[in-house]
Amino acid sequence: MRTYSYLTHLMLICALLIFHPAEGQRKQRDSRANAAFEAGEYYNAIDLYKNAFNRVSNSEQKAEIYFKIGECYRIIGESRQSELWYGKAIREEYQDPIIYLRYGQMKLINEDYDEALDEFKKYRDLVPDDPRGTTGIESCEAAKQWIENPTGYIVDDMRNFNSRQRDFSPAFVNELFTEVYFTSTREDALGNETHGATGQNFADIFTTTMDRKGKWSVPVPLEALNSEFEDGTPNISSDFSTLYFTRCKKGKNQQLGCQIYAAKSSGASWQEPEPLDILEDSLTVAHPAISNDNLTLYFVSDLPGGIGEHDIWKVTRIADNAPWGEPENLGEAINTPGNELYPYVHPDGTLYFSSDSRVGLGGLDIFKAEQDETGGWIIENMKPPINSPGDDFGIVFEAESERGFFSSSRRGRGNDEIYSFVLPPLNFNVTGAVRDERTDRVLPGSKVRSVSSDGITVETTTGEEGSFRFMLKPNTDYVFIASQPGYLSGKVRESTKGLDQSRDFEVTIYLASTTQVIELPNIFYDFAKWDLRPESMVSLDNLVETLNDNPNVTIELMSHTDSRGLPADNIELSQKRAQSVVDYLISKGISPDRLSAKGYGEAQPKVVDEKVREDYEFLKLGDVLTEDFINQLPSPELQEQAHQVNRRTEFRVLSTDYIPQN
């Protein structure tokens, strides 16, 4: 997965800084390809390795060269080429298990999920202590699901911002959000040297402004801040008075490292930027992100004591003009064994960052991190369309709006581009119909109430089509209650909680007539027993809810057996079964004087209705399941099913004018 962009500039330049002079002399004696690789000049190293390959006959050395070429392509963002060369290294039996992790990562970026899964499993088995193998395995499944179910964000390519080179890390720099700074390696950059890592210019900060018609101007270099060196990843304070950015210097035949600089505003321009004294050497820091209160500065570094390849750190101060404290690693809750890059602090305090070693779609994904009441971090992948199989990073928001910009290499050309994003207002509606439970006919004139979890109730009446419609709010639970004279009230529930895309719900509320006998489905007893089996409780709990929704009705619980056995025994058994239902309802708080139990034994065989006909196709509407009718059915299996239909528990409404005592 590619970590190039601006952080890779940091990686490339700092690569030389960790070598002592004696080690540097030793590197000079190595091949030109290895020297270029160690110096971070990956673009140049590719051709040098390919040339060196022709002079190598040893299989182990060939495998090493293949792997190094794969690494070069990975870092500069050429995932297809990287996958190709990693595959060659594997065929030459490259020995370091890291090859399987890298190969899997490239296949994940290239959306070859099944093959990526195999490589991650190999790495996990060989290096079980490294969580990146398991993370890769989980990513293969998550990526497929997320791509099929994107969030509601709308993403567009910012063509006015982008060039043929790399454009990334946008930042709003005024309170109207009409001016944007971003990093670019386009031809207008101030430095005239070509970077050995990319073959492109050194990066500069560019600016563009939006006019009253919403059109962005042609980006131009920010001359007040740019230098002959690498300049980029701008981030501005909440009062728009201080701009932070990264500068990576280079001297003659030497790299001088990366520092975070700060520039104070001076009218319509900026004062001379000064390096921040946040580390003793200030050589390996980049990607500044200042908090809304200006007292915490987040940054990226590979400082000793970190957790992964590059971590997010922070320094704090007690006042705007106070010195910065000691660097503090954000810990394992944020950082992984891989790279955590490009932090951004939302005005509401939420931390956004990119990572290549969490469950994601491949490459760098953007993550959202919020602190809970205990100070712990709750981390969420932003998912598609914000994230993609490429690198996604450098997000910025328009204050409290779910709108802004971010950077991505999703087009697969190895170049970064800037994209806009917006989350349109969520619109939720429910349309429904009220119908007779037995006949399925619509019930015009029904009253329907919408009761929401925020305490608001809205009422409407169904028209001739028996239909109704309500507008719904986001993150709210709803219950829709329908009533009609001569029917028991009914209801359905819906919720907009957790939904990040607009949606139209469709519901049907069925009402049961108070003049009809109503069967209770799935009421089960053991043979010749009257104790309720556990699976009966769901149906009875629904009856409890119905009685609570209709507090003025009294009912008779009716139990029926099949025709087998002595009539007297069946009457006794059915009476006990009906009473067991009454006892259960009483235990759930239903008043005893609203309930009566009656066992009918085999005296009332079932008459086949639409519901029975749907489940038992061998029966016809109107069939009466008497003992004689059942005995003439053509097989014992069909006869047993008919007996089962007769074994049922029902209730009927006795009155609708009961007055509750409480």
| Best CA proximity match to 341, nearest among 372, 373, 316, 306 | 306
CA distance 559 to 234: 76
Amino acid 30: pLDDT: 42
Nearest to 100 by CA among 141, 145, 130: 130
pLDDT at 315: 96
Instruction: Supply the pLDDT for residue 192.
Output: 61
Using omega within 30 degrees of 0 as the cis cutoff, is the peptide bond preceding 347 cis?
Answer: no
CB-based burial label for 456 (10 Å; 0-12, 13-18, 19+): exposed
Residues 161, 180 contacting (CB under 8 angstroms): yes
The residue behind tokens 């006998």 is: 517
Whole-number Å distance between alpha carbons of 206 and 198: 19
Domains detected in the chain: 5-148 (1.25.40.10), 154-418 (2.120.10.30), 428-511 (2.60.40.1120), 518-655 (3.30.1330.60)
Q: Are 242 and 211 in contact (CB under 8 A)?
A: no
Q: How far apart are CA 410 and CA 391, in angstroms?
A: 7
Q: What DSSP assignment string belongs to 437-479?
A: TTT--B-TT-EEEEEETTS-EEEEE--TT-EEEEEE-TT-EEE
Measuring CA to CA, how many Å separate 319 from each of 342, 356, 444, 515? Answer: 24, 34, 68, 76
Which amino acid is present at 267? G
Cβ atoms of 106 and 86 within 8 Å: the answer is yes
Q: Do residues 656 and 639 make contact, with C-beta atoms less than 8 angstroms apart? A: no
Tokens of 38: 């160690």
The per-residue pLDDT for 331 is 95
SS3 173: coil
The rounded average pLDDT for each run of 10 residues, N- to C-terminus, in the chain (662 residues) is 43 35 34 82 88 83 93 90 96 95 95 96 96 96 94 93 94 95 88 62 93 94 90 95 90 65 90 87 81 96 91 95 94 95 96 96 96 92 96 94 94 82 94 93 96 95 94 96 94 92 94 89 73 81 90 92 89 92 92 93 90 89 93 93 88 89 71
Taking every pair of Cα atoms in the chain, the longest distance, rounded to a whole number of angstroms, is: 109
Q: With CA atoms as reference, report the closest residue to 145 among 363, 378, 384, 362.
A: 384
User: β-strand 554-560 against 595-599: which pairing, if any?
Assistant: parallel
- The DSSP result for 477-506, as a single string, is EEEEEEE-TTB--EEEEEE-TT--S-EEEE
- Alpha helices per DSSP H over 519-566: 537-549
Question: Three-state SS for 423?
Answer: coil
Write out the two tokens for 281: 């050497």
Residue 526: what pLDDT? 65
Q: Please enumerate, as own/partner, the contacts of 538-541 that have beta carbons within 8 Å and a separation of 24 or more.
A: 540/581, 540/584, 540/585, 540/588, 541/588
**pLDDT value, residue 197:** 58
